[in-house]
Amino acid sequence: MDASWNFARKPFRDERPVFAAIGAAVLLSLVLLGANLHLYWKFSRQVEGTRREIAALEERRARAVKSAEQARTALEGYKLSSLAQQSAGLQVIVRERRFSWLALLARLERTLPSDVRLARLTPRFDKADSVELDMAVLGRNQDSVVHAIAALSKDPDFGEVALLSESSPEKGAPEGYSFQIALRYTPESAP
């Protein structure tokens, strides 16, 4: 038996069902293509939003890392400067402890003239090898000031001798002529 799909009269063939099936398949494929394109477009929008979010989060992370690094650097700098200040303070304490008062007083006793006596002595430890001294000295007469400054200036252990102030019995100093001297003391044993 000859199976033929031709329901028309002879010699014509009826191809309408084939064209209808092809048309339906093309229409169905266009609908599915449209649905796929719609899904792809939706997915692209979602991915683009996610990409923007990821980029924003990456940028935020980079800023946070940079900020943390700057804070860490500042903290390290603060720690170093704090340690430097503490070590400078400790060095001053060590210089104060190593300072020989006996040697200073013996040197002053040998250097100052006999008509001058020491009333007050204040050291300031600022350099490793020398000490700044503020001295209040009492003298018998006005020449005592000149003799004391000349004697201190000649001694190699004392330098930068400067007269800060003086007062006489007429100006209200009952014990004699008082004067204040600032100088730098560098012991012979210092490097």
Higher pLDDT, 145 or 30: 30
Question: Which helix (DSSP H) or strand (DSSP E) does residue 41 occupy?
Answer: helix 16-98
Whether this prediction's pTM lies above 0.75 is answered by no
The average pLDDT across 80-97 equals 72
Higher pLDDT, 169 or 121: 121
Amino acid at 81: S
How far, in Å, are 81, 85, 136, 163 from residue 73 at the CA level? 12, 18, 49, 48
Please say if the pLDDT value at position 66 is more than 50: yes
pLDDT in tens, 117-129: 888 888 887 766 6
**pLDDT, position 60:** 92
**What confidence tier does 92 reach under pLDDT thresholds 50, 70, 90?**
confident
**What confidence tier does 36 reach under pLDDT thresholds 50, 70, 90?**
very high
In the chain, the percentage of residues whose pLDDT exceeds 70 is: 83
**pLDDT, position 119:** 85
Angle CA(103)–CA(109)–CA(110) in degrees, nearest 5? 90
**pLDDT, position 191:** 42
Can you give 92-151 as a three-state secondary structure string? Answer: HHHHHHHCCHHHHHHHHHHHCCCCEEEEEEEEECCCCCCEEEEEEEEECCCHHHHHHHHH
The average pLDDT across 52-63 equals 91
| Residue 66 CA to its chain's centroid (Å) | 16
Please say if the pLDDT value at position 137 is more than 70: yes
